[in-house]
Amino acid sequence: MTLAVRVIPCLDVDAGRVVKGVNFVDLRDAGDPVEMARVYDAAGADELTFLDITASSGDRSTTYDMVGQAAEQVFIPLTVGGGVRTTGDVDRLLRAGADKVGINTAAIARPEVIGEISQRFGNQVLVLSVDARRAPDQPSGFEVTTHGGRQSAGIDAVEWVRRASELGAGEILLNSMDADGTKQGFDLEMIRAVRGVTQVPLIASGGAGKLEHFPPAVEAGADAVLAASVFHFGSLTIQDVKDTLRAAGHTVR
């Protein structure tokens, strides 16, 4: 059975507003997150990802009330990330209405938290967010970054995905920091490299700019495609992307 390719808008939230920039800088305001979640649900999004982009660097928890309001408005799976450090944080987010929880910086600092979360809640709840960029000094040619791409973690991105999958990550959100916000296309080489070391579902993120960018990401190994600014500012619609994937021979919902 071929699983349908999921199309996922990402809401990068800073101080209660959806923002979008290039490589996480020069942020532009794109709207109210709860209202945008409702619009995307109606537009046929398969899931929504909600990232509090300054939660780890600003050291504050994700805004639970905003998650709760969004969960009341939408009827598709909601993944929430940003500032998640412990099983307690995951518990609070799930109670607030999240279906899945994204973790990045805290898992790098203490990989055991991956197993703790997946054992307590099931690995389907845990999305490992990997913000990776090209790094010639790493064996795979890709390194992991933290704090919204501002700091190198000094570890190989492909090896990290392999290890995290073994520890219990249920899904990988692979974001190319080099491509993020550039609209030049997904990093297909990175997607292929990561697909080669894990069987868990893989979400490709970073670089979507045109409809023709989406099918190659799936052909490189992605199970889902994620984008932000092209959806927020209306240059592409969810339906356009699904039609393009379908025309390229992929199953969509």
Lookup result for tokens 């990988």? 172
Residue 225 CA to residue 214 CA, distance in Å, equals 7
Q: Indicate if the pLDDT at residue 73 is higher than 90.
A: no
pLDDT for position 223: 98
Q: Say whether 46 is catalytic.
A: no
For 106-118, the pLDDT digits (tens) are 999 999 999 999 9
Q: Say whether 32 is catalytic.
A: no
Kindly state the percentage of the chain with pLDDT values over 90.
Answer: 69
pLDDT for position 59: 45
For 18-59, the pLDDT digits (tens) are 776 544 455 566 678 888 888 899 999 999 998 887 665 554
Tell me how many degrees the CA angle 54-75-14 measures, rounded to the nearest 5.
15
Q: Where are the beta strands (DSSP E) in 68-223?
A: 78-81, 100-103, 126-134, 142-146, 151-156, 171-176, 202-205
Q: Indicate if the pLDDT at residue 124 is higher than 90.
A: yes
Beta bridge partners of 252: 5
Confidence of residue 13 (pLDDT cuts 50, 70, 90): confident
| Alpha-carbon torsion (57, 192, 99, 29), positive or negative | positive
| Alpha-carbon torsion (149, 143, 102, 92), positive or negative | negative
Task: Name which of 246, 233, 92, 221 is nearest 158 in CA terms.
Answer: 221
Q: Indicate if the pLDDT at residue 129 is higher than 90.
A: yes
Q: Indicate if the pLDDT at residue 142 is higher than 60.
A: yes
At 97, is the secondary structure helix, strand, or coil? coil
46, 131, 156, 180: the catalytic one is 131
- For 7-21, 48-62, 190-204, which range has the lowest pLDDT when averaged over its residues? 48-62
